[in-house]
């Protein structure tokens, strides 16, 4: 077991250090992924960056994840949820725009206008503390693919 998220990151860092990751970049999904990712980045001698993603909740029930949006990618929706509630991706246009504004504000507040770490031809290691629906992780990975990491 883990004492806390930092301990989880330290244990995971040791397991990852035993493998070869060419030119790694550690990407944390805030907020929970940051304390897990920090010891990993330190142990691997890799830069740490944030992968900013926001959940898109159902209208009237925002705790249910209809999808998610990553800062530089298209929104990702759960087709089963959309079908079950008779919704389309276009029904979320205003919410997607609001989530993008939140992401931009967070990047500014947390990273002071620092550009994302370039990933092209690098190994991206994505770290989160957990995921209830998987929507944010799916959106993060889709957005990440557009940045063209080697793996």
Fold of 5-146: Ybab; Chain: A; (3.30.1310)
Burial (CB count <10 Å: 0-12, 13-18, 19+), residue 126: middle
pLDDT at position 65: 87
pLDDT band at 133 (very low <50, low <70, confident <90, very high): low
pLDDT at position 132: 61
H helix intervals, the chain: 5-17, 33-44, 79-85, 93-111, 135-146
DSSP for residue 116: P
Instruction: Pull the structure tokens for residue 38.
Output: 């920090």
Q: What is the pLDDT of residues 35-90, one digit of tens each?
A: 999 999 999 999 999 988 899 999 888 888 899 998 877 898 999 999 999 999 99
Q: What is the pLDDT of residues 85-128, one digit of tens each?
A: 999 999 999 999 999 999 989 988 888 878 888 888 899 999 98
Share of the chain above pLDDT 70, in %: 98
pLDDT at position 24: 95
pLDDT at position 114: 81
pLDDT at position 146: 81
pLDDT at position 118: 87
Q: How far apart are CA 42 and CA 118, in angstroms?
A: 18
pLDDT at position 136: 78
- Expressed in percent and rounded to 5, the helix, strand and coil fractions of the chain are 45, 20, 35
User: What interhelical angle do 5-17 and 33-44 show, nearest 10?
Assistant: 30
């Amino acid at each position: 077991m883990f004492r806390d998220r930092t301990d989880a990151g330290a244990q995971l860092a040791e397991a990852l250090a035993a493998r070869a990751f060419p030119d790694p970049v550690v990407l944390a999904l805030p907020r929970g992924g940051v304390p897990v990712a920090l010891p990993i980045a330190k142990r691997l001698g890799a830069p740490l960056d944030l992968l900013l993603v926001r959940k898109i909740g159902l209208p009237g029930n925002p705790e249910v994840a209809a999808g998610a949006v990553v800062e530089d990618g298209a929104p990702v929706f759960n087709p089963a949820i959309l079908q079950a509630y008779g919704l389309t991706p276009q029904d979320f246009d205003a919410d997607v725009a609001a989530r993008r504004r939140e992401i931009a504000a967070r990047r500014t507040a947390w990273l002071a206008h620092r550009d994302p770490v370039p990933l092209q031809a690098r190994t991206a290691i994505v770290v989160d503390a957990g995921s209830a629906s998987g929507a944010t992780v799916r959106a993060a990975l889709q957005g990440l693919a557009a940045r063209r990491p080697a793996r």
